[in-house]
């Protein structure tokens, strides 16, 4: 009966939050923009468009180069931008497992690798702050940005705080189907010699109480008398960045860019979710303490450099530190599984990106990164089944700027990108295997497609 009440409370909470919660995920799993994904997401040092709100907020404060190019070509500078994009991912994972009921020998299905494909709409904008307020001379560039991603089935978020013994790919499927909202501003100084950016990643948290009465001991559907109180608070986390362009000061370093970005740890934490239920038979009082924790993103530090080998070719390198050692679970999971929950590893993700501009309008991108698993082998020997692999991530893409035509007053850029993730096969050997929790292996691939249109103004 306790499980029934807990389930009812959880379902009620999920309904309550299905239109309110925000978090990040698809950006770290696949990429935030088509051009960024095509370049292996190695964007921290040189990003200067609307996607800077994710890759490096300081990149919003880098506009002089755009203005100079526009003066030479007669095109729009692209300081102000509006972008609409669509990402679709198709994971194809192999979860080779033979689970069965030890009493009857009947097979037990495991759906961890099923129904993981989904799509996301991503909208972004960048606006010159000088339109509103004329900046002092020391500030050479100033823009604000706002970007939002939302699931293509128009659900804002899908809460997925499940039993950690469940076989669950931690960055894919429902784990990645969350809205992402980021906003901030970037400023360039001394003719964009260096820049600073600061912004917010929007998320929510809070607490609540659910009171259920007149419950009966039955398997039939019930509609109990209920009262619910929810206190939802805005819990933004910090996004910050920095860049420096030493070539603006030293001719020998022309074309060199350096960048750093930071995204603070974020999560949705609803705790406590106090639940009280009264059984009609015997007037039995059940007092339950529930909690939900989802959307966990670790602290992420990214250091990058890029170099323009010519007017046509850019090469970018970076290293991203993800602090998974700070991983958290809900109070309920901590209470029930704290003695077997693994300590997760901090990981460093190296990235390489290349862009070659064939003509003034047409460019091609390519990228590679290696992402090690944050789950150590010893973390899977007990009953916990967090799934993650070492993976090689390859990507290619193209962009094209339309020529002026008709009465069109703005420049339009088309982007298309493809990413292929290759999972290293992983074997799991349990210390005490059982029919419900046997040894198994998992691996596979993931294909992602991303297209977008950006209007420069």
- Whether the pLDDT of residue 225 is over 80: the answer is no
188 in Cβ contact with 194 (< 8 Å):
yes
Q: Give tens-digit pLDDT for 234-276.
A: 778 999 999 999 998 898 899 999 999 999 988 777 777 778 8
Q: Which pLDDT band holds residue 205 (cuts at 50, 70, 90)?
A: confident
**Which H or E run contains 36?**
helix 34-38
Radius of gyration of the CA atoms of the chain, in A: 25
Residue 236 token pair: 């933004």
* Range scoring the smallest mean pLDDT among 300-314, 382-396, 401-415: 401-415
- What is residue 175's predicted lDDT score, i.e. its pLDDT? 80
- Whether the pLDDT of residue 438 is over 90: the answer is yes
- Whether the pLDDT of residue 6 is over 60: the answer is no
- What is residue 407's predicted lDDT score, i.e. its pLDDT? 66
- Whether the pLDDT of residue 7 is over 80: the answer is no
User: Is residue 380 packed enough to be buried (19+ CB in 10 Å), middle (13-18) or exposed (0-12)?
Assistant: buried
Write out the DSSP string of 238-260.
EEEEEEE-GGGT-GGGTTEEEEE
CA distance 338 to 329: 9
- Whether the pLDDT of residue 224 is over 60: the answer is yes
Q: Which residue has the higher pLDDT, 71 or 406?
A: 71
Write out the DSSP string of 269-321.
EEEEEEEEEEETGGGEEEEEEEEEEEEEE-EEEEEEEEEESSSSEEEEEEEEE
- What is residue 381's predicted lDDT score, i.e. its pLDDT? 92
Q: Is 415 in a helix, a strand, or coil?
A: strand
| CA torsion angle 36 38 42 43 (round to 10) | -30
**Which H or E run contains 173?**
none
- What is residue 125's predicted lDDT score, i.e. its pLDDT? 97
CATH number at residue 281: 2.40.160.60
CA distance 328 to 26: 19
Give percent helix, percent strand, percent coil of the chain, each to the nearest 5.
15, 50, 35
187 in Cβ contact with 172 (< 8 Å):
no
Look up the pTM and report it. Answer: 0.86
- Whether the pLDDT of residue 18 is over 50: the answer is no
CA distance 421 to 395: 9
- Whether the pLDDT of residue 24 is over 60: the answer is no
Question: Total structural domains in the chain?
Answer: 1
Residue 23 token pair: 């978090």
Give every CB contact of residue 134 below 8 A, 6+ residues apart in sequence.
Answer: none
| Domain assignment of residue 75, given as a range | 2-456
Q: Which residue has the higher pLDDT, 147 or 272?
A: 147
Length of the chain: 457
- Whether the pLDDT of residue 185 is over 80: the answer is yes
Give every CB contact of residue 415 below 8 A, 6+ residues apart in sequence.
Answer: 33, 34, 35, 38, 85, 397, 398, 399, 450, 451, 452, 453, 454
Work out whether the CA dihedral 431, 432, 437, 438 comes out positive or negative. Answer: positive
For the chain, the average pLDDT equals 86
CA distances from 23 to 20, 27, 176, 182 (A): 10, 11, 9, 10
Identify the CA nearest to 386 among candidates 79, 108, 171: 171
Tell me the mean pLDDT in the region 131-159: 89
- Whether the pLDDT of residue 12 is over 60: the answer is no
- What is residue 155's predicted lDDT score, i.e. its pLDDT? 80
CA distance 293 to 424: 29
CA 115 to chain centre: 19
Residue 233 token pair: 């608070």
User: Is residue 230 packed enough to be buried (19+ CB in 10 Å), middle (13-18) or exposed (0-12)?
Assistant: middle
- Whether the pLDDT of residue 455 is over 90: the answer is yes
- What is residue 388's predicted lDDT score, i.e. its pLDDT? 94
Q: Is 12 in a helix, a strand, or coil?
A: helix
CA distance 38 to 230: 42
Q: Which pLDDT band holds residue 9 (cuts at 50, 70, 90)?
A: very low
DSSP-derived pairing of the beta strands 225-234 and 180-189: unpaired
């Amino acid at each position: 009966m306790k499980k029934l009440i807990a389930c009812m409370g959880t379902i009620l909470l999920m309904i309550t939050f299905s239109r309110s919660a925000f978090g990040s995920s698809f950006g770290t799993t696949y990429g935030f923009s088509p051009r960024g994904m095509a370049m292996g997401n190695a964007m921290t040092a040189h990003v200067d468009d609307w996607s800077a709100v994710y890759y490096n907020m300081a990149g919003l404060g880098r506009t002089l180069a755009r203005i100079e190019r526009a003066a030479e070509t007669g095109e729009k500078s692209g300081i102000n931008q509006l972008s609409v994009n669509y990402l679709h991912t198709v994971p194809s994972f192999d979860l080779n497992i033979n689970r069965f009921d030890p009493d009857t020998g009947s097979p037990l299905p495991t759906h961890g690798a099923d129904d993981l494909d989904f799509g996301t709409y991503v909208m972004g904008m960048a606006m010159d702050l000088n339109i509103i307020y004329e900046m002092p001379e020391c500030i050479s560039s100033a823009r604000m940005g706002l970007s939002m991603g939302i699931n293509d089935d128009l659900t804002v978020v899908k809460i997925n705080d499940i039993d950690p013994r469940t076989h669950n790919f931690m960055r894919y499927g429902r784990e990645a189907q969350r809205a992402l909202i980021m906003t901030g501003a970037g400023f360039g100084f001394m003719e964009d010699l260096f820049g600073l950016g600061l912004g917010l990643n929007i998320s929510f948290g809070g607490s609540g109480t659910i009171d259920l009465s007149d419950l009966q001991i039955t398997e039939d559907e019930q509609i109990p008398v209920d009262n619910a109180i929810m206190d939802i608070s805005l819990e933004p986390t910090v996004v910050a960045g920095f860049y420096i362009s030493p070539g603006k000061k030293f001719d020998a370093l022309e074309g060199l860019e350096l960048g750093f970005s930071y995204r603070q740890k974020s999560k949705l934490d609803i705790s406590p979710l106090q639940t009280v239920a009264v059984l009609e038979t015997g007037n039995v009082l059940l007092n339950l303490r529930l909690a939900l924790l989802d959307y966990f993103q670790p602290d992420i530090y990214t250091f990058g450099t890029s170099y323009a080998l010519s007017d046509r070719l850019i090469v970018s390198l970076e290293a991203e530190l993800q602090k998974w050692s700070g991983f958290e679970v809900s109070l309920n999971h901590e209470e029930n599984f704290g003695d077997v929950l693994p300590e997760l590893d901090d990981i460093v993700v190296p990235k390489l990106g290349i862009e070659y501009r064939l003509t003034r309008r047409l460019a091609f991108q390519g990228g590679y990164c290696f992402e090690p698993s944050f789950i150590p082998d010893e973390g899977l020997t007990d009953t916990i089944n967090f799934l993650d692999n070492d993976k090689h991530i390859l990507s290619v893409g193209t962009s094209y700027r339309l020529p002026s035509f008709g009465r069109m007053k703005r420049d339009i850029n088309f982007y298309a990108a493809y990413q292929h993730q290759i999972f290293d096969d992983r074997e799991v050997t349990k210390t005490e295997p059982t029919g419900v929790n046997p040894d198994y292996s998992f691996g596979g691939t993931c294909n992602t497609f991303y297209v977008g249109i950006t209007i420069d103004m």
